[in-house]
Amino acid sequence: MDYDKNNIFAKILRGEIPCKKIYENDYVLSFYDVNPLKKTHLLIIPKGEYIDLDDFHDKASEKEIIEFNKAITHVVKKLKISNQQDGYRVLSNIGKNGGQEVPHLHYHIFGGEKIGKIVF
């Protein structure tokens, strides 16, 4: 599968669709989900063109991988949902059977309330 340059996250990265930004650096963008499933529901996406986690690990630089993972910790601390507070859940749907709807790697982060065993 080729990367779709017209997916919603690509459009957000290009500034064609607005988002409520939480954090951004040269490698990562984090913003609130427009249809939150929990009290706190945000997304973290790499700025590179990666379809899913497999594609990311195959093609991304070490710096991109490190920055993407560090962004999770940065954001949850900023929003006061880190493990030092009450905790959070990180979820990535990968591929058709994993329920991936947007073909751009993204992590959902849920917090601010008890999540339970399953989010949806």
Catalytic residues: 106
Torsion, Cα of 55, 56, 58, 63 (10° steps): 170
- What six digits make up the tokens of 106? 């993204």
For 33-42, b/e burial (b = at least 16 CB within 10 A) is beeeebebbb
Q: Residue 23 — left, alpha, or beta (φ > 0 → left; ψ -120 to 50 → alpha)?
A: beta
- Cα gap 76→92, rounded to integer Å: 16
- Calpha distance 111→89 (Å, rounded): 7
